Amino acid sequence: MKCSQSLKYTDAQQSQQAAVSIMDIKASERKEPLIRIVKRNELSRTQVLALRLSSAVMAVAAGGLFILMLGFNPFMIYASIVSGAFRSSVALQATIKIMIPLLISSLGVSLAFKMKFWNIGAEGQIIAGAIFASYFALYHGLWPRQALIPAMLAAGIVGGGIWGLIPAIFKNKFNTNETLFTLMLNYIALNLIVFLRDGPWADPESGGFPKIARFVPNVQLPKLFGVQIGWIFALALAVFLHVYMKRSKHGYEISVVGESASTAEYAGMNVRWIVLRTMFLSGGICGAAGMIQAAGSDYTLAQSVAGGVGFTAIIVAWLADLSPLGIFIVSFLFSVLSKGCSVMQSTYGISTYSSNVLQGVILFFVLGCEFFIRHRFALRAPEGEAH
Amino acid sequence: MDAEYAIECRGITKTFGTVKANDGIDLNARFGEILALLGENGSGKTTLMNILSGIYHPDSGSVHVSGKALHINSPSDAIGLGIGMIHQHFKLVEIMSAMDNIILGAKDKLQKPSSLKRKILDLCDLYGLKIDPEKKIYQMSVSERQTVEILKVLYRNARILILDEPTAVLTPQETTGLFLILRKMKEKGCCVIIITHKLNEVLEISDRVTILRKGKSVATVLTAETNEARLAESMVGRAVNLSIKRPLVERGKPALEVKNLTSLEPDGRKSLSNLNFTLYSGEMLGVAGIAGSGQKALCETLTGLSKAHAGEIAYEGVNCMGKSAAEISKLGVRLAFVPEDRLGMGLVGSMGIADNMLLKTYKSGKGAFINRKPAIRQAERIIESLDIQTPGVDAPIRMLSGGNIQKVLLGREIESRPKVLIVAYPVRGLDINTSYAIYDLLNEQKRNKTAIIFCGEDIDVLLEISDRIMVLSDGRITGIESAASLTKEDVGLMMAGMDFRDKVQA
Amino acid sequence: MDYFLSFIAAVILAGTPILFGTVGEIINEKAGNLNLGVEGMMALGACAGFMAGYLLGNPALAIAASFLAGAAGALIYAVLTVTFMANQTVVGLTLTIFGVGFSNFTGEYMLTHSANNTLKIPENVMRALGGLNIQGLSALPIAGKILFSYNIFVYLGIAVAIIAGYYLKRTKIGLSVRAIGENPAAADAAGIKVAPLKYLNIVVGGGICGIGGAYASIITCGGVWMSNSVNGLGWIAVALVIFASWNPIKAILGSYVFGAFSILKYYVPKSYIPAPNAFYDMLPFLVTALILVIASIRDSKENSQPAGCGINYFREER
Q: Average pLDDT of each block of 10 consecutive residues along chain A (387 residues)?
A: 37 41 48 75 80 88 88 89 88 93 97 94 96 94 91 97 96 91 94 90 83 89 85 95 94 94 92 96 97 93 91 93 94 91 80 86 89 81 47
- Shortest distance, CA C85 to any CA of chain B (angstroms): 18
Q: Give the residue extent of every domain in chain B.
A: 5-236, 244-334+417-506, 348-415
Q: Which stretch of DSSP H or E encloses residue B476?
A: strand B476-482
Flag if A1 and B31 touch (Cβ within 8 Å): yes
pLDDT of residue B504: 47
Binning pLDDT at 50, 70 and 90, where does residue C69 land?
very high
Domain C2-298 top-level CATH class? mainly alpha
Binning pLDDT at 50, 70 and 90, where does residue C265 land?
confident
Helical packing angle, C194-214 and C152-170, nearest 10°: 160
Distance CA B355, CA B393 (A): 8
Over 50: is that where the pLDDT of C62 sits? yes
Q: How many CA atoms lie within 13 A of C141 on its CB side?
A: 2
Chain B contacts of C318, Cβ < 8 Å? 16
pLDDT of residue A8: 35
Superfamily of domain B5-236: P-loop containing nucleotide triphosphate hydrolases (3.40.50.300)
Chain B contacts of A31, Cβ < 8 Å? 71
Which of C189, C193, C307 is opposite residue B85, by nearest beta carbon? C189
Flag if C105 and A356 touch (Cβ within 8 Å): yes
With an 8 Å Cβ cutoff, is A116 touching chain B?
Answer: no
Flag if C286 and A359 touch (Cβ within 8 Å): no
Mean pLDDT throughout B275-285?
A: 95
Q: How many CA atoms lie within 13 A of B71 on its CB side?
A: 15
Over 90: is that where the pLDDT of C44 sits? yes
- For C173, the closest chain B residue by CA position comes to B105
With an 8 Å Cβ cutoff, is A383 touching chain B?
Answer: no
Answer yes or no: are the C-beta atoms of C12 and C150 closer than 8 Å.
yes
Answer yes or no: are the C-beta atoms of B491 and B172 closer than 8 Å.
yes
Chain C contacts of A180, Cβ < 8 Å? 238-239, 242, 288, 292, 305
- For B267, the closest chain C residue by CA position comes to C299
Answer yes or no: are the C-beta atoms of A318 and A119 closer than 8 Å.
no
Over 70: is that where the pLDDT of B192 sits? yes
Q: Which stretch of DSSP H or E encloses residue A244?
A: helix A230-247
pLDDT of residue A381: 62
Answer yes or no: are the C-beta atoms of C316 and B55 closer than 8 Å.
yes
pLDDT digits (tens, 9 = 90+) for B239-250: 777 788 888 888
Flag if A256 and B350 touch (Cβ within 8 Å): no
> Which one, of B354, B386, B351, lies nearest residue B373 by Cα?
B354
pLDDT digits (tens, 9 = 90+) for C135-161: 666 677 777 777 777 889 999 999 999
Flag if A28 and B189 touch (Cβ within 8 Å): no
Q: Which of A22, A256, A281, A374 to mutate to test the interface with B (most CBs of B within 10 A)?
A: A256
Answer yes or no: are the C-beta atoms of A164 and A286 closer than 8 Å.
yes
Flag if B66 and A260 touch (Cβ within 8 Å): no
pLDDT digits (tens, 9 = 90+) for C224-256: 999 999 988 999 999 999 989 999 999 999 999
Helical packing angle, A354-374 and A45-69, nearest 10°: 150
Binning pLDDT at 50, 70 and 90, where does residue B398 land?
confident
Answer yes or no: are the C-beta atoms of C228 and C45 closer than 8 Å.
no
Name residues 11-50 of chain A within 8 A of B (Cβ). Answer: 11, 13-14, 17-18, 20-21, 24-25, 27-33, 36, 38-39, 41-42
Flag if C293 and A184 touch (Cβ within 8 Å): no
pLDDT digits (tens, 9 = 90+) for B47-89: 898 899 888 888 889 999 988 888 888 888 899 899 999 988 8
Core vs surface per residue A324-361: b (16+ CB within 10 A) or e: bebbbebbbbbbbbbbbbbbbeeeeebbbbbbbbbbbb
> Which one, of A126, A127, A120, A128, lies nearest residue A184 by Cα?
A120
Yes or no: is domain B244-334+417-506 CATH 3.40.50.300?
yes
Q: Which stretch of DSSP H or E encloses residue B470?
A: strand B468-473
pLDDT of residue A23: 41
**What SS3 state is found at B135?**
coil
- Shortest distance, CA B231 to any CA of chain A (angstroms): 29
Binning pLDDT at 50, 70 and 90, where does residue B300 land?
very high
pLDDT of residue B118: 93
Mean pLDDT throughout B404-431?
A: 92
Give C1 or C198, the one with higher predicted confidence: C198
**What SS3 state is found at A167?**
helix
Flag if C316 and B91 touch (Cβ within 8 Å): no
Q: Give the residue extent of every domain in chain A.
A: 34-72+350-387, 88-341
Over 90: is that where the pLDDT of B139 sits? no
Answer yes or no: are the C-beta atoms of B391 and B354 closer than 8 Å.
no
User: What are the distances in angstroms from CA B481 to CA A13, B253, B255, B290, C63?
Assistant: 51, 19, 18, 17, 76
Binning pLDDT at 50, 70 and 90, where does residue B497 land?
confident
- Shortest distance, CA C5 to any CA of chain B (angstroms): 42
Flag if B157 and A42 touch (Cβ within 8 Å): no
Lowest mean pLDDT among B445-449, C77-81, C174-178, C294-298: C294-298
Chain A contacts of B395, Cβ < 8 Å? none
Answer yes or no: are the C-beta atoms of B86 and B162 closer than 8 Å.
yes
Distance CA C252, CA C159 (A): 10
Chain B contacts of A242, Cβ < 8 Å? none
Domain A88-341 top-level CATH class? mainly alpha
Name residues 54-113 of chain B within 8 A of A (Cβ). Answer: 57, 59-62, 65-66, 68-73, 77, 80-82, 107
Which of B81, B355, B358 is opposite residue A28, by nearest beta carbon? B81
The winner for highest mean pLDDT among A335-344, B31-40, C271-280 is B31-40
**What SS3 state is found at B184?**
helix
Flag if C187 and B103 touch (Cβ within 8 Å): no
- For C88, the closest chain A residue by CA position comes to A367
pTM of the predicted model as reported, rounded to 2 decimal places: 0.89
Q: What is the ipTM metric for this complex?
A: 0.89
Give B429 or B296, the one with higher predicted confidence: B296
Flag if B189 and A252 touch (Cβ within 8 Å): no
Q: What is the mean pLDDT of chain C?
A: 90
Helical packing angle, C2-30 and C248-267, nearest 10°: 140
pLDDT of residue A1: 36
pLDDT digits (tens, 9 = 90+) for B341-351: 888 899 999 99
With an 8 Å Cβ cutoff, is B324 touching chain A?
Answer: yes
> What subunits touch chain A, counting only 3 or more CB pairs under 8 A?
B, C
CA C96 to chain centre: 13
> Which one, of A182, A135, A160, A188, lies nearest residue A289 by Cα?
A160
Flag if B325 and A259 touch (Cβ within 8 Å): no
**CB-count burial class (<10 Å; 0-12, 13-18, 19+) for B266:** exposed
Chain B contacts of C187, Cβ < 8 Å? 93, 104-105
